[in-house]
């Protein structure tokens, strides 16, 4: 257990770098490295969570404007061995409709076409809970048999009793979904809540268990 804790620490203590942004699936690198993707509605906090995970402020660009991430942004530790994929936010975005439709196609093609994709973390704003857009992505992940896990972001914004209600509702939301991991992870990029838990989960996926 101590060895695994050290493996996790080293994975996120080493410098991470931005590899590239991909606007087409054909732009992606070879599928010979394990990938972990982060999906979620626009402005759910994907970039902030990536920065918190790797402990590098500003590695992933953050913005209060929904739809800032317009491509598949790939990040990796300098030593390699795994990639994090920041996906375009789905749902509301301040962008022309054809552009949003293009992002949506890119998301779907990516989710269905990467055999090295070990898990998708579906980020859901704890203040709002899962929405119809989240269900649409989960339906696709279920159909494609891609493992996914719900991460509730901005959990520090709710009172404890309200947060417990959101967790219960989310558990019911995914209860009968075949590709959904049953455990909900609570996070706050601002307060550091759940970051170590998510790091350990990603390290396990990298190590193959």
Q: Provide the pLDDT for residue 66.
A: 47
Could you tell me which residues come within 8 angstroms of residue 20 by beta carbon, excluding any fewer than 6 positions away?
27, 29, 73, 74
Rounded CA separation 27/175 (Å)? 35
Q: Provide the pLDDT for residue 196.
A: 95
Residue count (the chain): 209
Rounded CA separation 179/182 (Å)? 9
CB of 180 closer than 8 Å to CB of 139? no
Q: Which CATH number fits domain 2-207: 3.40.50.300, 3.40.50.1450, 3.40.630.30, 3.30.470.30?
A: 3.40.50.300
Tens digit of pLDDT per residue, the chain (209 long)? Answer: 568 889 899 899 889 999 999 988 899 999 999 999 999 988 899 989 999 999 998 888 764 444 455 789 999 999 889 999 998 887 655 667 777 677 778 888 888 889 999 999 999 999 999 999 899 889 989 998 999 999 999 999 999 999 999 999 999 999 999 999 999 999 999 999 999 999 999 999 998 86
Domain boundaries, the chain: 2-207
pTM attached to this predicted model: 0.91
Q: List C-alpha distances in Å: 199 to 30, 36, 52, 93, 125.
A: 24, 11, 10, 29, 19
């Amino acid at each position: 257990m101590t060895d695994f804790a050290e493996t996790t620490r080293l994975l996120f203590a080493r410098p991470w770098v931005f590899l590239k942004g991909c606007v087409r699936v054909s732009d992606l690198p070879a599928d010979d490295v394990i990938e972990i993707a982060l999906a979620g509605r626009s402005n759910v906090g994907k970039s902030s969570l990536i920065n918190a995970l790797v402990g590098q402020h500003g590695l992933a660009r953050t913005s209060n404007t929904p739809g800032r991430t317009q491509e598949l942004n790939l990040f990796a530790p300098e030593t390699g061995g795994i990639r994090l994929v920041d996906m375009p936010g789905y749902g509301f975005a301040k962008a022309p409709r054809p552009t949003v439709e293009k992002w949506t196609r890119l998301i779907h093609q990516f989710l269905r076409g990467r055999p090295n994709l070990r898990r998708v973390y579906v980020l859901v704003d704890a203040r709002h809970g899962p929405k119809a857009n989240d269900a649409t992505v989960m339906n696709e992940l279920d159909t494609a048999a891609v493992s996914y896990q719900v991460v509730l972001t901005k959990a520090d914004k709710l009172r404890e009793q309200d947060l417990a209600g959101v967790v219960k509702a989310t558990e019911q939301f995914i209860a009968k979904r075949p590709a959904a991991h049953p455990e909900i992870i609570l996070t706050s990029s601002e307060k550091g809540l759940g970051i170590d838990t998510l790091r350990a989960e990603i390290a396990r996926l990298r190590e193959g268990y």
